[in-house]
Amino acid sequence: MNRYLKSFFHRGLIFGGFGPVVLGIVYLLIETLNDGFSLSAKEVCLAVISTYILAFIQAGVSVFNQIEHWPLPKSLLCHFGLLYITYMLCYIINSWIPFKTEVVLIFTGIFVSLYFVIWICVYFSVKATSKKMNKTIR
């Protein structure tokens, strides 16, 4: 098996369980703050499975940044695309957002904005760290 695919699955399995844990905490807080909040067993099962898959994919896609022979745009596009599709499907399947054009466009705008803000911060952080390391080496 390709080492990147192996790394994808390894990372996903390690961190995948955090999604359902966070979901459980959120549901507990909602129930505590909201009398009359209830979910069916089917809703809980769907939410747990889908957030596990979401966390699994989110952890696993970091492998795209490790593929050294890929150009940065290709790596970012694969990372972004897989995360976007996974989040969108998870939110729609769980009815956390309705499948309406305007809602999907709003979600997409927020997702794209936050994704690139985070990556710009990461880029400049790595660049500054590299600069410090280069000065130390000299």
For residues 46 and 94, is the Cβ–Cβ distance under 8 A?
yes
One-letter amino acid of 131: K
Q: What is the pTM of this model?
A: 0.74
| Token pair 């995360």 in the structure block, residue | 83
How many Cα atoms occupy the beta-carbon half-sphere of 58 within 13 Å? Answer: 16
Q: Shortest CA distance to 104 belongs to which of 124, 116, 89, 120?
A: 89
Q: Would you give per-residue pLDDT tens digits along the chain (138 residues)?
A: 688 888 888 877 777 777 777 778 888 888 888 877 788 889 888 988 898 899 889 888 888 888 889 898 899 899 999 999 999 999 999 998 999 999 999 999 999 999 999 989 988 998 888 888 888 887
Give CA–CA dist 98/39, Å, rounded: 18
42 burial type by CB count under 10 A (0-12 exposed, 13-18 middle, 19+ buried): exposed
